[in-house]
Amino acid sequence: MRLFLCFLLALLVNACAAPQLRGTGDLGLIIERAAGRVTLVNTTSRQPYARIDGLGDLSHASAVYSRDGRYAYVFGRDGGLSKIDLLEAKLVKRVIQSGNAIGGSISQDGRIVVAQNYTPGGIKAFDAETLELLSEVPAEYAPGKFSKVVGLADTAGNKFAYALFEGGEIWVSDFSNPRQPTTQRFPAGNQPYDGLVTPDGRYFLTGLFGEDGVAMLDLWQPDKGARKILEKYGRGEEKLPVFKMPHLRGWSVAQGKAYLPAIGRHEVLIVDVATWKEVGRIPVRGQPVFVMARPDGRQVWVNFAFPDNGKIDVIDTLAGQVTHAFEPGKGILHMEFAPRGENVWLSARDDNKVLIYNTENFAKLGEIAVDNPSGIFFTTRAARIGF
Amino acid sequence: MSASRLVIALWLASAAAWAGEPDATRQKELIHLVRQDCGSCHGMTLKGGLGPPLLPENLAEKPAEGLAATIYYGRPGTPMPPWKQFMSENEADWIVQKLMTAFPE
């Protein structure tokens, strides 16, 4: 009897001590840019479950995920690269890898994390497991001249594509041998400001600030070189002042059309991805910053630069126009859709809140108190190329 | 408040306005604008990003009037836009003066 009681007690103790199992698929994180902190969230319960401090200057910070969605790699403006365990809710490792950084990406095989830097210009590759520095590619586009790097995105074959702001080039670095990368260079145009890889991994596009148009490289046929698309767009028209650079990442393809933020104009551009020709423009209520498609492509959500950064326009891609417009809060910096698109999370920086909406009927579902929220990143990004 | 103290208070307020010093509420708005919105390019801590750093040591050699004109009119050929629709020339001067010493949090 005594033995049996001991056995029962052991069962109970074990039951209490065993960690609660959970998957990573419904997790994510919110950047608190001023506090140097991230808030870990559950997208099913729509609640925060942990906060991690001490991550440095997180203005313009972004995050990518390990293949299993367990670890987030957060790139800070101050060059900090932090590896966070979402299951144990703790900081695993943090390195200061440069003086001034602007984001990063993770390789197709998940083994290499690459940071893109403003100061000194270039990219650096790290072992995803240990954050040990593997190699670097300085963005020296002319003897002694270094460029800021923008638009870094991973592509097939452990290659990374990116653009050089001052250098006006697209570079593709192959990290098949991570300690000895090889780089191809392509002329792109004047002042590339951001870039993206299409969801199929085939094309790298970089928006040009210094001239009209977008430079595009076919990564399946790089020998053909980069070409310009949308060259005629806006020709001869005076640009409006740009109070915040548009972001191309998180871009949108729906029904064979791409939706891109126009620069210096209150418009979203529609491009046919078969011909890469402009097929339309949709007027919106400010300078678009993020133009993001709901995962099914039925809607495209648009936020804006200062002074219109309290507004959101929702484009219905069937109707080809804005069908819902509202002002959810102050300083809407970023948005992220739930994995299958039923909800969207919006950062309201100046209201210190993240707001959650139903995308079908636009009803507000809840909010989370967060200090100056900016980027929101869910683990579904782990399974996508170009992030 | 006595009549004489009121006169002195009004005189001080007008002197501040004459010197181009924005009132406390407006100062707060301008600080927020610089940290958060200028911070998109220059960094929230003003250490630089796509735009150059704006710390006192970076600005020390530059003439204040030229810096205020850059804020107010922008710098054509670069991504720096004109901010004149959101502030007065006096306010641009005040921002430069604060940037060149120690910009408030």
A/B interface, count of CB pairs below 8 Å: 60
Q: Which B residues 10-29 touch A at CB under 8 Å? A: none
φ/ψ of residue A322, rounded to 5: -70, 125
How many Å from the N-terminal Cα to the C-terminal Cα in chain B? 33
CB contact under 8 A, B82 and A245: no
Of A59, A119, A350, the CB nearest to B44: A59
In chain A, residues with a C-beta closer than 8 Å to the C-beta of B81 are 241-243
CB contact under 8 A, A57 and B43: yes
Quote the pLDDT of residue A229: 93
CB contact under 8 A, B43 and A59: yes
Count of positions (residues) in chain B: 105
Q: Does A49 touch chain B (CB under 8 A)?
A: no
Predicted complex ipTM: 0.83
Per-residue confidence of chain A (387 residues) as pLDDT tens digits? Answer: 555 555 555 555 555 556 678 899 999 999 999 899 999 999 999 999 999 999 998 988 999 999 999 999 999 988 999 999 999 999 999 999 888 888 999 999 999 999 999 888 899 999 999 999 999 999 999 999 999 999 999 999 999 999 999 999 999 999 999 999 999 999 999 999 999 999 889 999 999 998 889 999 999 999 999 999 988 777 777 888 999 999 987 677 888 899 999 989 999 999 999 999 999 999 999 999 999 999 999 999 999 999 999 999 999 999 999 999 999 999 999 999 999 999 999 999 999 999 999 999 999 999 999 999 999 999 999 999 988
CB contact under 8 A, A118 and B50: yes
Q: What count of other Cβ atoms lies within 10 Å of the Cβ of residue A305?
A: 21
CB contact under 8 A, B37 and A350: no
CB contact under 8 A, B45 and A57: yes
pTM of the model: 0.90
The confidence band for B8, taking pLDDT boundaries of 50, 70 and 90, is low
* Between residues B1 and A89, the one the model is more confident about: A89
A286, A231 in Cβ contact below 8 A? no
Residue A36 three-state SS: coil
A301, A250 in Cβ contact below 8 A? no
Q: Does A345 touch chain B (CB under 8 A)?
A: no
Q: Does A98 touch chain B (CB under 8 A)?
A: no
The confidence band for B14, taking pLDDT boundaries of 50, 70 and 90, is very low
Q: Which residue has the tokens 């069908």?
A: A323
φ/ψ of residue B37, rounded to 5: -95, -45
Quote the pLDDT of residue A350: 95
Q: Does B40 touch chain A (CB under 8 A)?
A: yes
From B37, which residue of chain A is nearest by alpha-carbon distance?
Answer: A306
DSSP-derived letter for residue A167 is T
Quote the pLDDT of residue A255: 81
DSSP-derived letter for residue A120 is T
From A240, which residue of chain B is nearest by alpha-carbon distance?
Answer: B81
From B40, which residue of chain A is nearest by alpha-carbon distance?
Answer: A244
The confidence band for B15, taking pLDDT boundaries of 50, 70 and 90, is very low
